A and B are shown apart, each in its own frame.
Chain A
Amino acid sequence: DIQMTQSPSSLSASVGDRVTITCRASQSISSYLNWYQQKPGKAPKLLIYAASSLQSGVSSRLSGSGSGTDFTLTISSLEPEDFATYYCQQTYSTPPTFGQGTKVEIK
């Protein structure tokens, strides 16, 4: 199975800050990398698919980049609704594994 490692596991930031979350795959996954946001008590929500494609309806403050083994999710200017946990996921091969999550908290 492909292992996905996110960093950091958590971060504290203020509204307006630029935030970057990284995700590393244990082997090359081309661009088969997705990002999800999850808020407490809610199902995950797709943000970005294929490493850099923004899901319809998702704010353009969010962006994704990378290919191969290293990927990033960037939030250009944090808004209150962005405080949540973020997960990367590879869909290059079955099983489609997730990273352990990055919790973005209010500083």
Chain B
Amino acid sequence: EVQLVESGGGLVQPGGSLRLSCAASGFTFSSYEMHWVRQAPGKGLEWLSYISSSGSSTYYSDSVKGRFTISRDNAKNSLYLQMNSLRVEDTAVYYCARMTYYSSGKCFNYWGQGTLVTVSS
């Protein structure tokens, strides 16, 4: 059974840092590109970042570029999001998601349960 389990969320002051983790199991983690998506309270889904299966390629949304860093450790079946210079508007539930490719398209068919990050003084 595929499982993605996020951890590392919590309360942090503006300007602070936090590192989120996503532990993967039930599939060959090193074969899949992985993504981070967040959802602010009462708001919609916002895509944040992606990392290729090998980790050699990354991409960020403009809202987090230069502040957040995505990484992975395929030996540990883990995905990470290092978040620096946090702002109040970064308060959200953060999800990791697996991208699956089909012959006709690609989608996030597995998501973690989410971890809440609250940025407040």
- Chain A interface (Cβ < 8 Å from any Cβ of B): 31-34, 36, 38, 42-46, 49-51, 53, 55, 87, 89, 91, 94-101
Contact = CB atoms under 8 A, between A and B. Distances in A.
A101 B59 contact: no
Contacts of B99: 91
Given A44-B45, A44-B111, A91 B50 contact: no
Interface of B: 35, 44-47, 50, 59, 61, 95, 99, 102, 104-109, 111-114
Nearest to B4: A43
Chain A, interface SS category = loop
A98 B47 CA distance: 8
A55 B106 CA distance: 12
A101 B112 contact: no
A18 to B, nearest CB: 25
Chain B, interface SS category = strand
Nearest to A97: B47
B52 to A, nearest CB: 11
B50 to A, nearest CB: 7
A49 B109 contact: yes
B109 A46 contact: yes
Nearest to B50: A94
B102 A50 contact: yes
29 contacts: A34-B108, A42-B113, A43-B95, A43-B111, A43-B113, A44-B95, A46-B108, A49-B105, A49-B107, A50-B102, A50-B104, A50-B105, A50-B107, A51-B105, A87-B45, A89-B107, A91-B99, A91-B105, A94-B50, A94-B59, A95-B50, A95-B59, A96-B35, A96-B47, A96-B50, A96-B108, A98-B44, A98-B45, A100-B44
